[in-house]
Amino acid sequence: MENNYQDEVAKILIAIESIKFSFKNPFTLTSGHKSPVYVDCRKIISYTKERNKILDYAEQYLINHNLSFEILAGGETAGIPYASFLAERLQKPMIYIRKNTKEFGKNQQIEGNFNNKQKAILIEDLATDGKSKIIFVDAMRKFNIHVTDIFVIFYYDIFKTSKTSLANLNVKIHYLCTWKNIIKIIQKNKIISKNEIENLKFFLNEPKKWRQIYE
Q: How far is CA 151 from the centre of its chain?
A: 7
pLDDT in tens, 154-164: 999 886 666 66
105 — pLDDT class (breaks 50, 70, 90): low
Indicate the pTM of the whole model.
0.92
- Among 16, 122, 114, smallest CA distance to 74 is for 122
Query: Which domains does the chain possess?
Result: 5-214 (3.40.50.2020)
100 — pLDDT class (breaks 50, 70, 90): confident
For residues 197-201, give the mean pLDDT: 96
70 — pLDDT class (breaks 50, 70, 90): very high
pLDDT in tens, 131-167: 789 999 999 999 999 999 999 999 998 866 666 677 7
6 — pLDDT class (breaks 50, 70, 90): very high
pLDDT in tens, 44-65: 999 999 999 999 999 999 999 9
